[in-house]
């Protein structure tokens, strides 16, 4: 069994404290989908397929803690929730330079962070097996890295399709799937993020400003040589909930 420590993440500890209770627990993608299984189909049901179940093994939903509905026009962001304008605009921002021609790359300010003692790679991907407004206009920008050797958050980066200008996600909808790339059983333990942990994670995220275009192997070596790993782990264990 591998213990995976996790928490919501914000760069501002005060925002973290304000939003902590908004976050949903992490739940299994397979367990959520199988609720709608057609029990009458016992001969050709993909829920019984070992290849399908193996693909979804250790895959979890990261769910939206809020409801947002924003439109981007002429370099400005407009909320379609009149009574929540300040909230919507505070949580969504056009901080990224567009990666796709004639399209918008959005950073939705909802993040999670994970850490393990054992080597463990994660893979994040678009929540394609759930019907959501998000899938209508955008896709999640996937990624993969070893959460035992790099202490950085998983961020809500979304690419709007050409011609689209709206990002809409209901509360509770999956924002992304996260898969732990191991056959071992996963034990999830939630921890409370402290200022020290935020500062240590920023050491990782901000390194690209000084060491640009470096591969993950290089970043892992820097992290391990710094001895920051032991400090991160100790602080996390002191704040497990």
Reported as a single tens digit per residue, the pLDDT across 163-187 is 999 999 999 999 999 999 999 999 9
> Residue 237 has what pLDDT?
97
Q: Tell me the β-bridge partners of 153.
A: 113
In which band, very low, low, confident or very high, does the pLDDT at 90 lie, cut at 50, 70 and 90?
low
> Residue 54 has what pLDDT?
96
> Residue 93 has what pLDDT?
60
Q: What is the pLDDT of residues 26-76, one digit of tens each?
A: 999 999 999 999 999 999 999 999 999 999 999 999 999 988 888 888 778
The pTM of this model reads 0.92
Tell me how far the alpha carbon of residue 75 is from its chain's centroid. Answer: 26
Model confidence at 203: pLDDT above 60: yes
Among 10-24, 106-120, 198-212, 227-241, where is mean pLDDT lowest? 198-212
If one compares 166 and 92, the residue with the highest pLDDT of the two is 166
User: What is the number of structural domains in the chain?
Assistant: 1
Question: 83: domain range?
Answer: 2-237
Q: What is the pLDDT of residues 106-161, one digit of tens each?
A: 888 899 999 999 999 999 999 999 999 999 999 999 999 999 999 999 999 999 99
CA–CA distance, 144 with 216 (Å, rounded to integer): 10
Q: What is the pLDDT of residues 7-35, one digit of tens each?
A: 999 999 998 998 899 999 999 999 999 99
């Amino acid at each position: 069994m591998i213990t995976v420590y996790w928490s919501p993440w914000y760069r501002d500890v005060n925002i973290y404290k304000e939003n902590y209770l908004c976050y949903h627990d992490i739940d299994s993608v397979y367990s959520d989908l199988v609720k709608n299984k057609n029990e009458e189909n016992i001969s050709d049901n993909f829920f019984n397929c070992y290849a399908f179940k193996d693909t979804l093994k250790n895959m979890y939903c990261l769910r939206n803690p809020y409801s947002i509905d924003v439109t981007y026009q002429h370099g400005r962001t407009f909320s379609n929730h009149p009574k929540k304008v300040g909230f919507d605009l505070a949580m969504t921002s056009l901080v990224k330079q567009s990666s796709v021609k004639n399209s918008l790359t959005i950073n939705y300010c909802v993040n999670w962070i994970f850490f393990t003692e054992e080597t463990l790679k994660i893979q994040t991907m678009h929540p394609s097996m759930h019907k959501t407004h998000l899938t209508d206009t955008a896709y999640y920008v996937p990624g993969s890295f070893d959460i035992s050797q790099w202490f950085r958050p998983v961020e809500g980066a979304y690419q709007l399709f050409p011609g689209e200008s709206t990002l809409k996600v209901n509360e509770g909808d999956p924002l992304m799937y996260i898969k732990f790339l191991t056959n071992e059983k996963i034990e999830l333990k939630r921890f409370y993020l402290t200022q020290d942990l935020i500062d240590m994670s920023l050491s990782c995220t901000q390194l690209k400003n000084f060491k640009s275009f470096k591969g993950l192997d290089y970043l892992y070596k820097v992290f391990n040589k710094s001895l920051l790993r032991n400090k991160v782990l100790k602080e996390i264990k002191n704040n497990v909930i």
